Amino acid sequence: MGQQVDPVGQRVDSRLEDPLALDEIELYGDLVIAASSTEGPLSPTQIDQVLGLAGGRGDPAPRAAG
């Protein structure tokens, strides 16, 4: 019960997954990709856009599936 096989073929206990941590890692990755495609630092507005925040901080916009 709770056992899955990961893409490498190792057994993984699905009870150890942390959906919140996985979401944070995905957001961090989105920021890294955005930062690597600009010549300077990201502005606060650009960061908000990457994180899916609409009209400013704390106003979440719907995230595109993908």
C-alpha span between 57 and 51 (Å, rounded): 10
| Sole residue written with tokens 């893409």 | 7
For residue 7, name the pLDDT band (cuts at 50, 70, 90).
low
Query: Using one digit for the tens of pLDDT, what is the confidence trace for 23-63?
Result: 999 999 999 999 999 999 999 999 999 999 876 555 555 55
* pTM of the shown model: 0.58
- What is the reported pLDDT for 45? 92
Q: Where are the domains of the chain?
A: 16-59
C-alpha span between 29 and 23 (Å, rounded): 10
- What is the reported pLDDT for 10? 73
